[in-house]
Amino acid sequence: MAAMVYYRPAGPAFLHHRRSSVDVSLGGMRVYSDEEMSVGDSLELDLLLDDEVTARCWARVAWVERLDPTVSARFDIGLEFTDMADGDRGLLTAALRRGSGAA
What are the residues whose beta carbons fall under 8 Å from the beta carbon of 42, sequence distance 6 or more? 58, 59, 60, 82
DSSP assignment, residue 68? P
Domains and CATH numbers, the chain: 6-98 (2.40.10.220)
What pLDDT, in 10s, does the model give residues 2-57?
Answer: 445 666 665 544 333 445 566 889 999 988 888 888 999 998 888 888 767 888 99
65-88 pLDDT per residue, tens? 999 988 888 888 999 999 999 999
C-alpha span between 13 and 5 (Å, rounded): 15
What is the C-alpha separation between 12 and 49, in angstroms, rounded?
16
Q: Give the torsion sign (CA, 16, 18, 19, 23).
A: positive
Per the DSSP assignment, residues forming a β-bridge with 21 are: 31
Q: Give residue-wise pLDDT tens across range 46-71.
A: 888 876 788 899 999 999 999 998 88
- Against a cut of 0.95, is the pTM above it? no
